[in-house]
């Protein structure tokens, strides 16, 4: 696995890890945003497969618990696969964090600034009028667990238009999570400290254009 990692970029290594975990029957950890190589290096080379499986299962539950307590992400983890496994202990915290991250999402709408003056040319108000076309930036929503599933099911990419935004708002209302909308002149780059650059790259690549 060490030599494999050396020949792969970040998101390729994540996928390779998940395939390895799945091959051991540890599907509940597929999608975890953790580098498992340091964990594997603790396992004796002559260990039996069942011992490797048990060690990984125990250690990954501990690692994920620590990360979740620090606000780590669970975007691609499948809760249903965690049920009836030792990882089920993580489900309440995952559910709590997923609701919190969705509540904090800001959807950017790009437009042109309009300045309103009174008859004496004194500035009264500044507002942003959305441009036509796909001016709604969905990257931040993609980088949440609920957002990832919602946008995937609705067939959205990384941008949409105002009609698409209304559809997303309606879906989020059903989740009791009305989104915050920010009207801006230039889109801001989304950066989240609780997501590795490899996972962020992989998700936005899946999201497409």
Q: What is the pLDDT of residues 120-164, one digit of tens each?
A: 788 888 888 888 889 999 999 999 999 999 999 999 999 999 999
Question: Does the pLDDT at position 46 exceed 70?
Answer: yes
Distance CA 128, CA 98 (A): 30
Q: Give the count of beta carbons closer than 10 Å to the beta carbon of residue 97.
A: 19
Mean pLDDT for the stretch of residues 185-198: 88
Q: What pLDDT is stored for residue 45 in this prediction?
A: 81
CA-to-CA separations, 179 to 176, 204, 208, in angstroms, rounded: 10, 20, 22
Nearest-5° angle of CA 154, CA 79, CA 93? 110
Q: What is the pLDDT of residues 54-75, one digit of tens each?
A: 999 999 999 999 999 999 999 9
CA-to-CA separations, 53 to 59, 110, 116, 120, 163, in angstroms, rounded: 10, 48, 65, 76, 48
Single pTM value for the model? 0.89
Classify each residue of 50-61 as buried b or exposed e, where b means 16 or more C-beta atoms within 10 Å of its C-beta: eeeeebbbebbb
């Amino acid at each position: 696995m060490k030599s494999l990692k050396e020949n792969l970029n970040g998101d390729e290594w994540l996928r390779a890890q998940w395939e390895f975990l799945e091959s051991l029957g540890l599907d509940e950890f597929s999608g975890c945003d953790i580098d498992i190589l340091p964990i594997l290096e603790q396992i004796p080379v002559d260990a039996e497969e069942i011992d490797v499986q048990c060690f990984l299962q125990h250690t990954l539950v501990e690692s994920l618990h620590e990360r979740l307590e620090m606000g780590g992400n669970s975007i691609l983890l499948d809760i249903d696969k965690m049920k009836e496994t030792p990882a089920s202990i993580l489900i309440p915290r995952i559910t709590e964090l997923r609701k919190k991250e969705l509540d904090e999402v800001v959807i950017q709408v790009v437009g042109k600034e309009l300045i309103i003056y009174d008859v004496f040319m004194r500035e009264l108000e500044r507002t942003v009028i959305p441009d036509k076309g796909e001016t709604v930036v969905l990257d931040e929503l993609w980088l949440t667990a609920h957002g990832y599933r919602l946008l995937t099911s609705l067939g959205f990419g990384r941008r949409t238009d105002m009609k698409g935004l209304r559809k997303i708002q309606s879906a989020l209302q059903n989740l009791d999570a009305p989104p915050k909308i920010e009207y801006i002149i230039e889109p801001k780059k989304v950066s989240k400290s609780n997501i590795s650059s490899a996972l962020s790259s992989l998700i936005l690549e899946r999201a497409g254009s």
